[in-house]
């Protein structure tokens, strides 16, 4: 009976960790791009079309599976109440994923429980859980694949899970490919059911994109590549890598180009990894998978100038796993090692993420959301268009039809970029004549001021400084310490 209760300890750790992380819901720290996915889901609910603006089909979200999950939550809880249940669901899925990982790497139930909790309070783990992105589902599916597909050699997992993983994000072919290569080298055999799953997932996604959207890859990938494309020499590429890798391999971003903290962390992760794989253990297969994947995923995305930090959350967590294993499995002075880890790493990281979440949540939810709410009450005709960047909070809460400057939610912008990248912005305005413009800049003094003055008027200024006040002493200090957001100017067409 005692043994049965002990086996439940990691499950209790899952629930406890989720409860701790749910406190972060109070910060309202939700990623801008999550609202793009949620608007796509609601567009499907309202128009029966996967799109962003009415009946126009467009893969404005990076993830198809998460769009469907968001659609289901909107259907069940309603548009006004689905966010919190969905974030709780994401938190449960991610933390359950850490439970699968603990079963693959640890034997002692108390070690598993500590592993689940210590991973769960890392900054990227908190962000995966509460920022509204698809990575909670993705982490759950990937760890489930390792646990059932390769830990227990379940054929159903090898077929079904790759399909779900690829439909969550197309770039997961990196993860699936690395698992296949390491498994082939490790076991000297081919898992044909796994190959079948990969083929079904890849062919199914590409066929769905082509038949439904008339494109091979998601529009978001095409749009970002087109908008952010820039020629770099070899030395510029090298400088770019040196300047940016520190803030993506580490778990906290520091001001400036160079983050020495990350160097120390990377060295310790490597030392722990080498120490662990020298022990002859069947779990080494999974250690190789997660460590090689962590490095390759980061290298590929950083080399492609992918600066959005959510691409790096899962690799950051997986690269840190050997550190946790090393500390938990120390036979001598384990308590000392654990105390050092918690006092000098876990607690400072948790404090850092708490401050960051409170400050950024204020800048996003309490500030940027108010722009959308203002427009929602100011403009009753939801068929009117707004031209802005980015396409998250403001379009979602305003309900207006949207043109974004990258072309994520409107393909016509991409045509303008192809024709004349330098003048695509003003050309889009002249051609489409959106009723509203939202800009970081003072358009009445810009290079296009002559046209703007003739056709638009400034109706409201939104300033970050107006949202850095709180009756709570600690919140007031945090808002001033780390102001979050950008100043905006809102213009309305006058002809």
What confidence category does residue 224 fall into, taking pLDDT thresholds of 50, 70 and 90?
A: confident
What percent of the chain clears pLDDT 70, i.e. is strictly above it? 96
| 475-491 pLDDT, tens digit each | 889 988 888 889 999 99
Mean pLDDT in residue range 292-311: 87
Q: What is the pLDDT of residues 76-109, one digit of tens each?
A: 999 999 999 999 999 999 999 999 999 999 999 9
Give pLDDT, residue 265. Answer: 87
Residues 352-364, mean pLDDT to the nearest whole number: 93
Answer with the residue of higher pLDDT: 249 or 92.
92
Residue 2 confidence (pLDDT) above 70: no
Is the pLDDT at 1 greater than 50? The verdict is: no
> What is the percent of the chain where pLDDT is above 90?
77
Cβ neighbourhood burial of 77 (10 Å; 0-12, 13-18, 19+): middle
Q: Cα 255 vs. chain centroid, distance in angstroms? A: 21
Residue 225's pLDDT band, with cuts at 50, 70 and 90, is confident
Sequence-separated (6 or more) residues with CB below 8 Å from residue 79: 42, 45
In terms of Cβ atoms closer than 10 Å to its own Cβ (0-12, 13-18, 19+), residue 277 is middle
pLDDT over 70 at 3, yes or no: no
How far is Cα of residue 194 from the mean position of the Cα atoms in its chain? 26
pLDDT at site 247? 65
Q: Looking at residues 467-478, what average pLDDT do you find?
A: 88
Integer Cα distance of 49 and 37 in angstroms: 13
For the segment 260-273, the average pLDDT, to the nearest whole number, is 88
Average pLDDT over all residues of the chain: 92
Of 275, 252, 364, the C-alpha closest to 323 is: 275
pLDDT 10s digits, 235-248: 777 777 776 666 66
For residue 218, what pLDDT is reported? 87
CA distance 144 to 233: 41
Domain ranges of the chain: 2-329, 359-493
Residue burial 342-366, b: 16+ Cβ < 10 Å; e: rest: beebbeebbeebbbbbbbbbbbbeb
């Amino acid at each position: 009976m005692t043994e049965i209760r002990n086996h439940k300890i990691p499950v209790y750790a899952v629930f406890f960790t989720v409860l701790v992380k749910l406190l972060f819901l109070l910060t309202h720290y939700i990623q801008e791009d999550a609202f793009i996915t949620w608007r796509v889901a609601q567009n499907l609910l309202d128009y029966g079309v996967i799109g962003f603006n009415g009946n126009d089909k467009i893969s404005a979200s990076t993830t198809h599976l998460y769009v469907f999950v968001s659609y289901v939550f909107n259907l069940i809880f309603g548009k006004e109440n689905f966010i919190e249940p969905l974030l709780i669901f994401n938190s449960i899925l991610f933390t359950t994923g850490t439970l699968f990982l603990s079963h693959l790497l640890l034997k002692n139930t108390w070690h598993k429980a500590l592993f689940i909790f210590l991973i769960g309070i890392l900054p990227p783990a908190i962000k995966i859980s509460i920022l509204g992105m698809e990575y909670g589902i993705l982490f759950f599916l990937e760890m489930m694949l390792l646990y059932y597909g390769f830990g227990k050699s379940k054929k159903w997992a090898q077929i079904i899970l790759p399909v779900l993983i690829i439909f969550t994000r197309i770039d997961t072919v990196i993860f699936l490919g690395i698992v296949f290569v390491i498994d082939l080298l490790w076991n000297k055999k081919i898992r044909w059911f796994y190959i079948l799953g990969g083929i079904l997932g890849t062919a199914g996604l590409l066929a769905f994109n082509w038949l439904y959207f008339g494109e091979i890859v998601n529009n978001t990938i095409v749009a970002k590549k087109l908008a952010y494309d820039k020629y770099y020499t070899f030395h510029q590429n090298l400088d770019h890598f040196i300047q940016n890798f520190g803030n993506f391999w580490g778990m906290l971003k520091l001001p400036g180009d160079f983050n020495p903290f990350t160097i120390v962390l990377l060295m310790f992760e490597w030392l722990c990894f080498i120490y662990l794989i020298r022990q002859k253990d069947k779990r080494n297969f999974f250690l190789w998978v997660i460590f090689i994947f962590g490095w390759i995923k980061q290298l590929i995305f950083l080399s492609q100038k992918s600066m959005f930090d959510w691409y790096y959350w899962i690799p950051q967590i997986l690269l840190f796993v050997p550190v946790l294993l090393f500390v938990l499995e120390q036979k001598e002075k384990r308590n000392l090692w654990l105390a050092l880890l918690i006092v000098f790493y876990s607690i400072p990281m948790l404090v850092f993420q708490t401050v960051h979440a409170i400050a950024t949540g204020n800048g996003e939810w309490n500030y940027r959301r108010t722009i959308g709410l203002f427009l929602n009450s100011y403009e009753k005709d939801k068929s009117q268009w707004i031209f802005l960047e980015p396409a998250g909070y403001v379009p979602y809460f305003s309900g207006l039809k949207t043109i974004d400057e990258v072309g994520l939610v409107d393909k016509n912008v991409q045509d303008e970029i192809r024709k004349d990248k330098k003048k695509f912005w003003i050309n889009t305005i002249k051609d489409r004549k959106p009723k509203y413009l939202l800009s970081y800049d003072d358009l009445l003094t810009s290079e296009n001021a002559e046209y703007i003055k003739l056709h638009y008027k400034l109706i409201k200024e939104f300033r970050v400084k107006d949202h850095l006040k709180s009756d709570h002493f600690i919140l007031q200090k945090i808002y001033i310490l780390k102001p979050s957001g950008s100043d905006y100017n809102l213009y309305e067409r006058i002809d």
